[in-house]
Amino acid sequence: MKNNFSEQGNLLLKHIDTADAICVGAAAGMSVAAGYDCAYHNDKYFEKYLGEFGRKYGFEGSFNGYYYRYQTSEERWAFLAASIYMNMNLPDGMVYQNLFELLEGKNYFIVTTNQDTLFSRRFPENKVSTIQGDFRYLQCVRPCHDELFESKELIEEMYANIRDCRIPTELIPHCTECGRELEPWVRGFTFLEGKKYREEYEKWNRFLLENKGKKILFLELGVGRMTPMFIREPFWNMTYSWSQAFYIAINPKDALLPKELKEKGITIKEDIADVLEYAVRRKRELEGKVGAES
C-alpha cells in the first residue's frame, strides 16, 4: 500500500516499535480525528443530544453552551447534563482503537487535555492523566473542599428529566459540605486543583522519572497552538534535554518542529485517523496477521 504518508507512517511505526517507553500527549485534534466536531459545529451528535438547545439559544457547537449566561440554574444544568451525557456516550471509535492496538504490550503513558473521557473508556486508568479535568467528576463551585463527586448517576438522572431545555429544581446538584451548587470538574475559573489534580500529574511524572534515561518517544496527537504549555512545550523540552528522546507530532495543521529538534523529531501533517490506521495496517502486515505484502 502506498500513499502520501507511507514513509512517515513507517517511521512512526519504527519509532513505536523500537522505543523503550512511549509518552503520548493528546488534545482536541484527537476528538476531531475520531469524527467529533460537536464542540464547534452542529454535527450529528450535537443534533442528537443538543439540537433543542442549539435551536433555542442559537448555539454553534457545544462550546458555546458552556459560556452562555443562562437565566436560571435549571436551564444551565439542563444544557450541562445533555452535553456531558453526550460526551459520555460518544462511541470511542476507530482512532482510539488503532492507537490502542499500536500501544498494546508497550511501556506507554497518555497525558491529555481532553475532558471528553474518551481515553478513559479504552485505556487503563493508571496509564492516563487528564490534566484539565474530566466530565466524570463534579466539584463544589467555590470550591469549599477537596472532594470530587462522581457525575454519572447525577447526569443521567438530569438528562432523563429535561423538559423544554430545563431540569426540575430538585435535581440541581449541590455540595454536600456548603450547599452551593456543583460545577463540572473541568478547567475554568473555579477549577479545583486539589488531590485528584495532583494525582493526575503524579502519575505522569512517575512514568517520566522511570523512563528518563531510556529511549523514549514523545508522540503528540492533535495539540493545537492555543495552549502549548500543557503538552507541547514539556514534550519539546524533554526531547531536547534527554539524549535518547525522540519527538513525533501528528496534526494536519498545527504540527511544529523547533529547529533545535531538527535531528530529534518529525512532524506528520496529515489526518491523525489516517496515519494511525495506516500504521496499524502496516503493523499487522509485518506481524503476518493479514495477507502480508512481499
- Binding segment for Zn ion (CB under 5 A), chosen from 111-119, 144-152, 218-226, 232-240, is 144-152
> Which C-beta is closer to Zn ion: that of 150 or that of 177?
177
Name the one residue in this structure whose C-alpha cell is 426540575. Answer: 168
Could you tell me the smallest distance in angstroms from the CB atom of residue 142 to Zn ion?
Answer: 5
| Pairwise CA distance, residues 241 & 233, whole Å | 12
Contacts of 145 (CB under 8 A, 6+ apart): 175, 177, 178
| Pairwise CA distance, residues 259 & 267, whole Å | 12
175 counts as binding Zn ion under rule CB under 5 A: yes
190 counts as binding Zn ion under rule CB under 5 A: no
177 counts as binding Zn ion under rule CB under 5 A: yes
292 counts as binding Zn ion under rule CB under 5 A: no
- Binding segment for Zn ion (CB under 5 A), chosen from 76-84, 87-95, 137-145, 255-263, is 137-145
138 counts as binding Zn ion under rule CB under 5 A: no
Q: What is the DSSP letter of 206?
A: H
178 counts as binding Zn ion under rule CB under 5 A: yes
Q: Is 119 helix (H, G, I), strand (E, B) or coil?
A: helix
Half-sphere exposure (Cβ direction) of 151: Cα atoms closer than 13 Å: 27
174 counts as binding Zn ion under rule CB under 5 A: no
| Pairwise CA distance, residues 255 & 234, whole Å | 15
Residue 62 is placed in which grid cell? 457545544
| Pairwise CA distance, residues 27 & 115, whole Å | 9
Sole binder of Zn ion in the list 12, 140, 162, 248 (CB under 5 A): 140
> Which C-beta is closer to Zn ion: that of 178 or that of 292?
178
> Which C-beta is closer to Zn ion: that of 148 or that of 272?
148
Could you tell me the smallest distance in angstroms from the CB atom of residue 197 to Zn ion?
Answer: 17
Footprint on this chain of Zn ion (rule: CB under 5 A): 140, 144, 175, 177-178, 180
